[in-house]
Structure 1
Amino acid sequence: MNPELTGPDFCKGVPGSALRDGVPLLGHAQGEQMILVRRGEAFFAVGAVCTHYGGPLAEGLVEGDCVRCPWHHASFSLRTGQATRAPALNALTCRRVEQRAGMVFVGDRIERASAPSARAPGAPAHPESIVIVGGGAAGNAAAEMLRREHYEGPITLLSADDSLPCDRPNLSKSYLAGTAPEDWIPLRTAEFYREHHIDLKLNARVIAIDPLKRRVQLESGSGQDYGALLLATGADPVRLDVPGAGLPHVHYLRSWADSRALVASAAKARRAVVIGASFIGLEVAASLRARKVEVHVVGREKVLMERVLGTEVGAFLRGLHEEHGVVFHLGATPASIGPSAVTLASGESIDADLVVVGIGVQPALGLARQAGLAIDRGVSVDRYLATSVAGIYAAGDIARWPDRLGGEPIRVEHWVVAGRAGQTAARNMLGQREPFDMVPFFWTEQYDFSLAYVGHAERFDRVEIDGTLASRDCKLSYSRGGKRLAVAVVRRDLEGLRCEVELERAIASSE
């Protein structure tokens, strides 16, 4: 037996009585690590490793006929192995399962193509063509889902970036730290788009939309007609408005090109100043420390991440970074940037041969405004991600959708949210009328510390902690008016998944 394989050999059979309903059993079949799952009297065998970042599905949660990854909450069908929720895009191996004399045996691989989903009664025919504006998580996920749902019309994916759609969360984490190679970053190869007949156009900047003619105009002078349009233009970094902000050693981080440029500068840098103590700023600080660059962080706030995670987490994060040598200048703002120093409004000067600005992002709403879409701190969409203009949908960082848990529309700038919104928008462009009721999810990694967050508490008046941050084993619950809106977990991945399901059920019960 391969020494790397663990658990029983499913090909030799395991007693059906040994499997508890909904509890994955880790084992192997024909040299591949698998999980075997019982649901009632049925048994399913799928690959044991999440196709996103390799999370252990044996430690995940079975809900319905799907298994959810404990790391980043991707979901897979137990029946087909298909990835049913972003961030995973690829399917798991799925194997035949037989029952004989009280034993369960796993056999050969099976390929189950997903059946086309039926359109809702009275739904319109599929659009003749679909154009997607934006090559981020939402746009890419939408294009892929259209093909998975057997849409046969032309799909054009217009990306203003010069690189293939990429794994953006990695740009401030492992890639910037130097532990993730280049080939980890593209979501797909160029050949993938060709094979699936997705016309991906890079450096394709859309400058106008004509909703009446159903046509987009590109900066190059060319145009593209559409039957349905998905607007997924994402968000742009907020630019720092101080003298010297345009100097060559001042960087922003949004695209793969931005990260490449920052990696190149970090290789030669001695001391960096990170302006902004947001998640992006703190992740950049941790990644630069991994490269042995001295780091100072300048932030307006007095307590790190207080508005998002509360004072306890903020104090912990500050201590974590200080343990790794980061120096903080909180309650401070930059006044100017010179070739070798950043000057604060207080007059303090901090030496720097590298400056990274991470003071937030703003939704890219220019096209939406030009096209006459309803806007309310984002593009207003209904439960189905349809905008106020017929034939146009919006997803990702620009979309503001009805949140039935919190009771008011929300706009969320999370990678996983964008991917799932793109998938839902794709299905709805095909007439399926699927409400977008996702419980938001994000994660952060800083050094050897990881925190996962489910829900959305834009405002909260109570934080309850079960466990301790010092032990790196805890759950934090965020509530407003006695109603729990979000949960953050540290080393309690399964509990985080269970909280996600609880919040989903709360949304469902609000119908």
Structure 2
Amino acid sequence: MIADYTEAPVCHVDDLADGELKEVRVGDTDVLLARADGQFYALYHKCTHYQAPLVKGVLNGHRLVCPWHNACFDIRNGHRLEAPALNGLPTYEVRIENDQVFVRLTTDKESLENPMSAPDEANSETYVIIGSGGAGAFAAEGMREGGFTGKILMLTASGEAPYDRPNCSKDYLQGKAPDEWMPLRTEEFYKDYGIEIRTGQYVTSLDPANKRISLSSGETVQYDKAIVCSGGKPNPLSSPGGDLKGVYPLRSLHDSQTLRELGKKGKRVVIVGSSFIGLEGAMSLRKLGSEVDVVGLEKVPFEKILGEKIGRVIQSWHEKEGIRFHLGRKVDRIEGTGSVRDVVLDNGEKLVADFVLLGLGVKPRTGFLKDIPIEKDGGVKTDEHLRIVEGLYAAGDIAHYPAADGPQRIEHWKVAGQQGHVAGLNMAGKEESYQAVPFFWSNQQGKRINYIGHTTQIDDIIYDGDPEKDDNFLAYYIQDGQVKAAAGLKRDQAIIAIKELMQEGRMLSVEAVRNGIDWVKELRKS
């Protein structure tokens, strides 16, 4: 514990320019020092999400962006501005004396909740959240942050309260993350803020005209406002044998637990699907000791998203760890008596399997919505405030939201969390538009690739660094003569700066990108 306070001079006023960050030491404590508009700010030095060193992030005005997963904080008060972080950063006192900057520590906390309203029994309104993923979790907190004091009810088919779903294919599946890491919040948190979570609740219909929700139990729930965060249902394998015992999805905590136990036994697994979930699952199960074969329709993993060159590089990372690929192939059938024995491909090749992991993407869960137009892909359209119709909102995997190039539907954890937060604020009476540039990350054999933006097709790719030779690179994805997206390995600050420029409508031309850019320097230009 810090007794009263600890104070120390940390730098001269001229040591930091506007937009710069510096990690300093006060007593035995590391502190992040930031300067914006001529003012100095001192904060806890690690991100509250996964403890990333924030000094390696980027400061844009008063926005401090984490280098790993792009959580965002306000340096003036430490408040969390964007997912995936839930908590904000403690801030410390700063004073200037004789051209020296002094920082005073008065707290030993490593994180702080954003200011939220307490429930008030006098408020009879009920807001309902359908789903307990990232969108639902952040929506609940957004409602309280926005000042709503009525009843909040979360209905989820899951058996758990909100948890860290991205970890299900990574450290948790590998057995490196204990169970206590997975819940996003404690039971006490939800109790303190009056957020009632009812697990095992299957919604059969939602009637927006009468503001009524029907459950499989026969119970009905009336709401004043509701948000649909129902997420996606894993796509099944349509080939014969897809319903045999031993065929598993990887979507939930329970799925991850089941696969982890199988993986520890050194079983033979065939993974159907060569995209992010499939290959993260392959990586994790291989680390557990399983023999892994990956079957994918694409000739190169991630070719449509990251391009052929990066896709081949990622494939090589996995092959070096003993993972075998069968690409440009599909499953003809799965054979076995009662349970999986072999996976037969369309070219007749037979792969011995003790179990099968499906990584075939998801379809939005929207079949229970009554009198709401459903898009071809199963999603629903919202306005810029993430409203479907009056009193009904959507966030996460199901939401088609307005963007500059037309409606977008993005299946990413950060996107879901941020949409939920914005929608929750708006349900509480705010009028905040959702305008964030999409961001996602993937861990492929211990290498974190960050991706920002969105393309529907890739016309050209510009590389800064050679993915086949260098251990760090940027790739810019061109569509219709504009840079629409970028991916990077060990280029965290550049990725952040590009995202911030995109959000501000200041993205540079294709020609400028070809000539090379110092992205952080570009961001700091007024």
TM-score between both structures, scaled by the size of structure 2 = 0.89
Cα distance between partner residues in 2 of 1:427 and 1:460: 35
Contact 1:94 1:109 in 2 (8 A): no
Cα distance between partner residues in 2 of 1:167 and 1:465: 33
Match in the other structure for 1:409: 407
Q: Which is further off, 252-261 or 93-102?
A: 93-102
Contact 1:11 1:106 in 2 (8 A): yes
Match in the other structure for 1:73: 70
TM-score between both structures, scaled by the size of structure 1 = 0.92
Q: Residue 360 of structure 1: CA displacement?
A: 1.2
Matches within 5 A, 1:64-103: 64-103=61-100
Cα distance between partner residues in 1 of 2:506 and 2:154: 32
Cα distance between partner residues in 1 of 2:477 and 2:372: 37
Distance 1:30 1:219, change over 3 A: farther
Match in the other structure for 1:468: 466
Cα distance between partner residues in 2 of 1:416 and 1:310: 23
Cα distance between partner residues in 1 of 2:420 and 2:506: 20
Distance 1:113 1:478, change over 3 A: closer
Match in the other structure for 2:219: 222
Matches within 5 A, 1:357-396: 357-368=358-369, 370-373=370-373, 375=375, 377=377, 378-387=379-388, 389-396=389-396
Matches within 5 A, 1:283-294: 283-294=280-291
Q: Residue 279 of structure 1: CA displacement?
A: 0.6
Question: Unaligned stretches of 5+ in structure 2?
Answer: 1-5, 118-122, 509-526
Q: Residue 113 of structure 1: CA displacement?
A: 8.6
Match in the other structure for 2:449: 451
Report Cα offsets for 1:322-365 as digits up to 9, x if no partner. Answer: 11111111111112222321111221111111210111111112
Instruction: Specify the SS of the correspondent of 1:166.
Output: coil
Paired amino acid for 1:45: A
Match in the other structure for 2:481: 482
Q: Residue 495 of structure 1: CA displacement?
A: 0.5
Cα distance between partner residues in 2 of 1:87 and 1:482: 32
Match in the other structure for 2:316: 319
Q: Which is further off, 472-481 or 359-368?
A: 359-368
Contact 2:58 2:493 in 1 (8 A): yes
Cα distance between partner residues in 1 of 2:291 and 2:372: 47
Paired amino acid for 2:342: A
Runs of 4+ displaced beyond 4 Å: 110-117
Distance 1:371 1:451, change over 3 A: same
Paired amino acid for 2:489: V
Contact 1:271 1:293 in 2 (8 A): yes
Matches within 5 A, 1:23-422: 23-109=20-106, 128-337=125-334, 338=336, 339-368=340-369, 370-373=370-373, 375=375, 377=377, 378-387=379-388, 389-404=389-404, 407-422=405-420
Instruction: Specify the SS of the correspondent of 1:410.
Output: coil
Contact 1:127 1:228 in 2 (8 A): no
Cα distance between partner residues in 2 of 1:385 and 1:32: 42
Q: Residue 374 of structure 1: CA displacement?
A: 5.2
Contact 2:94 2:102 in 1 (8 A): yes
Distance 1:144 1:348, change over 3 A: same
Q: Residue 115 of structure 1: CA displacement?
A: 7.0
Contact 1:80 1:114 in 2 (8 A): no
Which of 417, 420, 430 pairs up with 2:428?
430
Q: Residue 367 of structure 1: CA displacement?
A: 2.1
Cα distance between partner residues in 1 of 2:114 and 2:331: 54
Cα distance between partner residues in 1 of 2:504 and 2:124: 33
Match in the other structure for 1:17: 14
Q: Which is further off, 337-346 or 257-266?
A: 337-346
Q: Residue 44 of structure 1: CA displacement?
A: 0.7
Distance 1:23 1:39, change over 3 A: same
Contact 1:137 1:422 in 2 (8 A): yes
Q: Residue 92 of structure 1: CA displacement?
A: 1.1
RMSD, aligned α-carbons: 2.1
Report Cα offsets for 1:263-296 as digits up to 9, x if no partner. Answer: 1121224211101111110111111111121110
Cα distance between partner residues in 2 of 1:465 and 1:262: 37
Paired amino acid for 1:341: D
Instruction: Specify the SS of the correspondent of 1:144.
Output: helix
Match in the other structure for 2:513: none
Instruction: Specify the SS of the correspondent of 2:426.
Output: helix
Q: Residue 30 of structure 1: CA displacement?
A: 4.8
Instruction: Specify the SS of the correspondent of 2:419.
Output: helix
Cα distance between partner residues in 1 of 2:488 and 2:106: 36
Q: Residue 29 of structure 1: CA displacement?
A: 3.0
Report Cα offsets for 1:306-333 as digits up to 9, x if no partner. Answer: 1111111111111111111111111111
Cα distance between partner residues in 2 of 1:435 and 1:295: 44
Match in the other structure for 2:3: none
Contact 2:156 2:200 in 1 (8 A): yes
Match in the other structure for 2:523: none
Instruction: Specify the SS of the correspondent of 1:396.
Output: coil
Aligned residues: 490
Q: Residue 213 of structure 1: CA displacement?
A: 2.2
Cα distance between partner residues in 1 of 2:100 and 2:318: 52
Distance 1:242 1:365, change over 3 A: same
Instruction: Specify the SS of the correspondent of 2:505.
Output: helix
Contact 2:264 2:289 in 1 (8 A): no
Distance 1:150 1:420, change over 3 A: same
Paired amino acid for 1:350: L
Q: Which is further off, 417-426 or 370-379?
A: 370-379
Contact 1:277 1:305 in 2 (8 A): yes
